[in-house]
Amino acid sequence: MRLRVVRVRKNPKETYSVLVVDDSDDDRFFLRRSIQTDSRLTIVAEVCNGEDAIAYLSGKTVFGDREKFPFPDLMLLDLKMPRKNGYEVLQWLRTQKFEQLVVVVLSGSTLPEDAAKCRVLGADDYKMKTAREEERNTLVREIESLVDKKRRR
């Protein structure tokens, strides 16, 4: 008699942890709502400025406990923030070895030079913030696909 080993995958699609970096309470609220609706993304933390984003990713200050503050698979980063803006966070990331971290800039800026500068600084993508729920849900699905693609490499 032949035995065949079959691996059962509990979840055929991987889930991803997310660090949200945005100083707008409203933007974080609506993003959180879209992610919680029907997504494979799980927000592990939200911070309001670039200094806290760097501290979180470094595991410094209050973020030193990786059980409580796990390193994220994905960072959703706003550009215009106090105490280090998104560009400064991207510049700092260039000095780090976080190859698996996917960085998507979410901005209200429609300026092509903002998107270009973010990509030059290493952002994996640049997306526009939107107030429309359907567009936010589409945005979340696009971000999931981006993380899937980067993980397969």
What per-residue confidence (pLDDT) applies to 89? 98
Q: Note the pLDDT of residue 151.
A: 83
Whether residue 3 lies inside any domain: the answer is: no
The per-residue pLDDT for 51 is 97
Report if residue 132 sits inside a domain.
yes
Q: Which helix (H) or strand (E) holds 41?
A: strand 41-47
Residue 83 DSSP code: S
Q: Are 59 and 66 in contact (CB under 8 A)?
A: yes
Give strand pairing partners of 65.
none
108 within some domain? yes
| Cα-based angle 66, 67, 72 (whole degrees, multiple of 5) | 55
Residue 121 lies in a domain: yes
Below-70 pLDDT ranges, the chain: 1-12
Q: Which domain holds residue 132?
A: 16-152
Mean pLDDT for the chain overall: 89
Tell which residue, 95, 72, 86, has the closest CA to residue 27.
Answer: 86
* Total of domains in the chain: 1
* Residue 7 belongs to some domain of the structure: no
Which CATH number goes with the domain that contains 36?
Answer: 3.40.50.2300
Residue 8 belongs to a domain? no
What per-residue confidence (pLDDT) applies to 60?
A: 93
Q: Tell me the residue type at 134.
A: E
What pLDDT is recorded for position 11?
46
Residue range 55-97, pLDDT digits in tens: 999 999 999 999 999 999 999 999 999 999 999 999 999 999 9
Q: How far apart are CA 45 and CA 17, in angstroms?
A: 9
Q: Considering the domain boundaries, does residue 10 fall inside one?
A: no
